[in-house]
Amino acid sequence: MLTTMKRATLLMAVCTAVLVASARTEANAKEPTATQERTLWEHNGSIMYLVAKGSLREFYYKEPRPEMLEAGAQPGSLLFRGQSTKGQYSGTAFIFNRRCGQIPYQVSGPIIDNYTRVVMTGQAPRIGPNCRIKGYLTDTLDFRLLQPSEGLSSPTGTSNSGSPPTTTSTTAYDSSWYISKFWGDEYPNGFAVIENNTVVTARATMDKSAPRTIACELPYLAVIHPWNDKRIKKNRIEFITATKTTPLIAKRDFIFRGYADDREVKFPVKKGTTLTYLQYFGEGSFEIKLDGRKYTADQDLFDHVDDSDMDGSAVEEWVLMTCENGVRAYIYMSDLFSVGDDATQTHFAGVSDVGPGMIEYGKARDLTPAEALKQRAAK
């Protein structure tokens, strides 16, 4: 007879197999027919079709960006299937793995910006040996409606899954943290200043334990976001991330495949070698360090390493900027909003999400007074 532990292990294996098999069935879904209502959307550098039929909603790839093509996405591949109810999308999204196919996970999120944007979040699976799920990472799916005049060509701009800019250091975080002048995820965080004379209390150092002693007056109508180049230059803004590093120990000899300086690389890695997880980029790609050099890796790496400590990896984001009253201050992003039980962020007085300040993938701008008024009314 099977022991309790063996039965649990067998059940887990069967459940994982069912998920993968279901995902592969979804992967064979055909691109929707022209008789169904379709609109064109942009998602992380890829062009998508949204199919709407009653409350049913489905996002399909029309023009996958190169990295997604390499991961296995094709024109007509299904990325999301679910429902639209009470101003929310909820359903099943898929992460692409070139060896295991599409792996499903649950996502949900609001319809915002006057029905021109959908932002869903969920726990994207990390795939291990034999295509089994080894853990999860928080992932964001951000879809933005394209106007007919924008055509089918992918928007310009550098993908957020590329290598980050140069790193910096701070005494507030010890050597177990990786500090970079870069905010990860497909669409980085940000905020807009929607009320005049908005002042936040900030810090003189990048240290959560330091007192908030600096009164930082925020520039009215400003969109503080990594893609708003004009505002970055005007207020000398830096976007800094602190990520708790995690050791990834090779379980066997294997060939590492990834990228370094935008070039594809592959080389052998011996059993017992320690690779260090540094930070998440987006759509399953992340940065690691090996023998003093940094590489961009994808989900396939988890087939070969012990990643049992990954779930505890913490990420903290900061803004360093020159405020309107002339002072230089560190703003800890979590000080600007509260998080509800459903993970929804509620911004404090004077600030909101970026809203219409997001022009397209890779580009953002400040708000107009009319847009700020609408953002205030929507809070």
What residue ranges do the domains of the chain occupy? 16-150, 177-242+315-378, 246-312
Q: What is the mean pLDDT of residues 163-190?
A: 69
**pLDDT for 171 beyond 60:** no
DSSP 273: -
Given a cut of 90, is residue 343 above it in pLDDT? no
Indicate the Cα dihedral angle 229, 235, 236, 237, nearest 10°. -70
For residue 5, the Cα-to-chain-centroid distance in whole angstroms is 36
Q: Which residues contact 163 (CB under 8 A, 6 or more apart)?
A: 259, 261, 262, 287, 294, 296
Tell me what percent of the residues of the chain surpass a pLDDT of 90: 46
pLDDT at residue number 355:
92
How far apart are the C-alpha atoms of 191 and 165, rounded to whole Å? 21
Mean pLDDT for the chain? 81
Determine contact, residues 291/271, Cβ cutoff 8 Å: no
Region 163-176 average pLDDT: 53
Residues with Cβ < 8 Å from 282, sequence gap 6 or more? 44, 139, 159, 160, 161, 184, 185, 186
Give whole-number Cα distances, 234 to 190, 195, 214, in Å.
16, 19, 20
pLDDT at 225: 95
Q: Which two tokens mark 157?
A: 């701009």
pTM: 0.56
The percent of residues in the chain predicted with pLDDT above 70, rounded, is 80
CATH code of the domain made up of 246-312 = 2.30.30
The whole-angstrom separation of Cα 198 and Cα 200 is 7
What CA–CA distance (Å, rounded) separates 279 from 288? 7
Are domains 16-150 and 246-312 of this chain identical in fold? Answer: no
pLDDT exceeds cutoff 50 at 6:
no
Tell me: the pLDDT tens digits for 32-59? 444 456 899 998 888 999 999 889 999 9
Residue corresponding to tokens 């909101």? 352
> 252-281: per-residue pLDDT in tens?
999 999 888 878 899 999 999 999 999 888
DSSP string, 82-139: EEEETTEEEEEEEEEETTTEEEEEEEEEEEETTTTEEEEEEEEEEE-GGG-EEEEEEE
Among the four given CATH numbers 1.20.1290, 2.40.128, 3.40.720, 2.40.30, the one describing domain 16-150: 2.40.128
199-249 pLDDT tens trace:
999 998 899 888 898 999 999 999 999 999 999 999 999 999 999 999 999
List the structure tokens of 282: 């987006």
